């Protein structure tokens, strides 16, 4: 039995360590190292929850190929239950190549792969037995997993008494996806878009306005809009908070949003206040950026608690 079931995209990530600039056409750029790691929202959040002392199962799909075997073995190495992961016979394992250039945001080259083949037929309802929370990450990057699938799954999870959490992936230039999530938000306890995804959903730039629009679909739910180095905004009922970002020596921001999600989920499982959950999640998210890749920099639970106790971050209430 797992504390948290993490459903969503599974990826073989290939990271290059930060370089000074992108090479010109035909130019060879040298790297100190590459890192091959399991990634994708479901895998990253599960791995980070594991570092925070929670047991996890992952639901998703990989290809019947070497990358698929690597994803399964790397998840097992991280102590994550893989028994509910399915293999696609028609699609390769999803893969992302992440280019890090010093002083710039990351660049991604991505193949949807087997994530495009994942559907409700790949879900064994037994995975919810004994769990306390269901997290769906990378929704909208799994085209065969339709809105009615998500609504039905979240409705069933709520009937089992689980906390439901949702994060999305919206590609640049995509039309508004609000119609694809509005019904599911009724059954979502925690919604975690970043500011760009929230803008795509609402058409608004300001995170507070974004949160107000999204809250119309579930006034009692918690909405957290992450803003990278600008911090995060959280809304629950009439309570609204803005948090700055913890200052750390950042190397690679890959996976920091998933680490934030894991930290906030821990706060909800612990029954913490909105402010304490936001502070803890901000610390966990910031810690992820201290190392190349999505997992190695993430603090363990006691380390995160000590970090929060010994480092200040500004959190202000919004009228």
Residue 225 is part of a domain; what is its CATH number? 3.40.1190.20
- Do 71 and 38 meet the contact criterion of CB atoms below 8 Å apart? yes
Whether pLDDT at 134 is above 90: yes
What single-letter DSSP state applies at residue 302? Answer: H
Residue 270 domain-assigned (yes or no): yes
pLDDT at 123: 96
3-state SS track over 125-178: HHHHCCCCEEEEEEECCCCCCCHHHHHHHHHHHHHCCCEEEEEECCCCCCCCCH
Whether pLDDT at 175 is above 70: no
Whether pLDDT at 23 is above 70: yes
Work out how many domains the chain is built from and give that number. 1
The predicted model gives 154-176 an average pLDDT of 87
- Total-model pTM: 0.93
Name the E strands within the chain: 4-8, 11-16, 34-39, 56-59, 61-63, 86-88, 95-99, 107-111, 133-139, 163-168, 190-191, 222-226, 232-236, 239-243, 315-317
Q: In this structure, what token pair is assigned to residue 135?
A: 């997290």
Range of the domain at 262: 4-21+33-317
Q: Sheet of 95-99: strands edge to edge?
A: 34-39, 11-16, 95-99, 107-111
How does the average pLDDT of the chain come out, rounded?
93
Whether pLDDT at 173 is above 70: no
CA distances from 88 to 67, 134, 197, 235, 293 (A): 12, 23, 28, 39, 26
Residue 26 domain-assigned (yes or no): no
Burial (CB < 10 A; 0-12, 13-18, 19+), residue 204, is middle
- Computed on alpha carbons and rounded to an integer, the radius of gyration of the chain in Å comes to 18
Residue 28 domain-assigned (yes or no): no
pLDDT at 110: 87
The tens digit of pLDDT for each residue in 52-110 reads: 999 999 999 999 999 999 999 999 999 999 999 999 999 999 999 988 888 888 888 88
Q: In this structure, what token pair is assigned to residue 89?
A: 């016979």
Residue 27 domain-assigned (yes or no): no
pLDDT at 251: 83
Higher pLDDT, 54 or 125: 54
């Amino acid at each position: 039995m797992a504390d948290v079931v993490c459903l969503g995209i599974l990826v073989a990530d290939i990271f290059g360590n930060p370089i000074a600039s992108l090479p010109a056409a035909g130019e060879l750029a040298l790297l100190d190292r590459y890192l091959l790691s399991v990634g994708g929202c479901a895998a990253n959040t599960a791995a980070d929850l594991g570092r925070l002392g929670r047991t996890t199962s992952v639901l998703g799909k990989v290809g019947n190929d070497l990358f698929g075997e690597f994803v399964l073995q790397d998840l097992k190495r991280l102590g994550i239950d893989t028994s509910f992961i399915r293999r696609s016979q028609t699609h390769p394992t999803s893969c992302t190549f992440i280019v890090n250039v010093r002083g710039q945001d990351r660049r991604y080259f991505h193949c949807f792969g087997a994530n495009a083949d994942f559907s409700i037929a790949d879900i064994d309802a037994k995975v919810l037995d004994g769990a306390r929370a269901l997290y769906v990450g990378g929704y909208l990057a799994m085209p065969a997993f339709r809105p009615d699938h998500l609504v039905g799954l979240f409705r069933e999870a709520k009937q089992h008494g689980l906390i439901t959490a949702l994060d999305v992936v919206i590609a640049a230039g995509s039309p508004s996806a609000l119609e694809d999530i509005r019904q599911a938000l009724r059954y979502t306890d925690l919604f975690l878009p970043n500011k760009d995804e929230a803008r795509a959903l609402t058409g608004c730039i300001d995170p507070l306005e974004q949160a107000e629009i999204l809250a119309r679909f579930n006034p009692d739910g918690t909405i957290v809009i992450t803003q990278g180095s600008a911090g995060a905004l959280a809304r629950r009922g009439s309570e609204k908070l803005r948090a700055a970002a913890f200052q750390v020596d950042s190397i690679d921001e890959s996976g920091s949003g998933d680490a934030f999600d894991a930290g906030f989920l821990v706060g909800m499982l612990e029954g913490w206040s909105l402010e304490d959950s936001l502070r803890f999640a901000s610390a966990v998210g910031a810690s992820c950026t201290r190392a190349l890749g999505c997992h190695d920099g993430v603090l363990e639970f006691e380390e995160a608690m000590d970090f929060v106790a010994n480092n200040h971050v500004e959190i202000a209430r919004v009228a």
